Amino acid sequence: MKTYKAYLFDMNGTIIDDMPYHAAAWVEILAELGYPLTLEAFNRQLSGKTNAETLLEVMGSELPASRIAEISARKEEK
């Protein structure tokens, strides 16, 4: 069995700033769902929130978990 002396973990934003890609995907998917939002508004209001937090804030607290999972999966494909 191979042993390792170190492990490298990339907690989003540590090595690569991938937030612009997440923000763009959110703006696109929310527009498709009828919730148009500018990139600037997303960054100001929703940046850093989980998928569920984002969707509940934008689409309302009555959104079923199954719908959150479905939309989140579509967003991650972007």
3-state SS track over 7-69: CCCCCCCCCCCCHHHHHHHHHHHHHHCCCCCCHHHHHHHCCCCCHHHHHHHHHCCCCCHHHHH
Q: What tens digit of pLDDT does each residue of 9-24 get?
A: 776 677 788 889 999 9
Q: What tens digit of pLDDT does each residue of 46-74 get?
A: 998 999 999 999 999 999 999 999 999 99
Per-domain residue ranges of the chain: 25-77
pTM across the whole model: 0.79
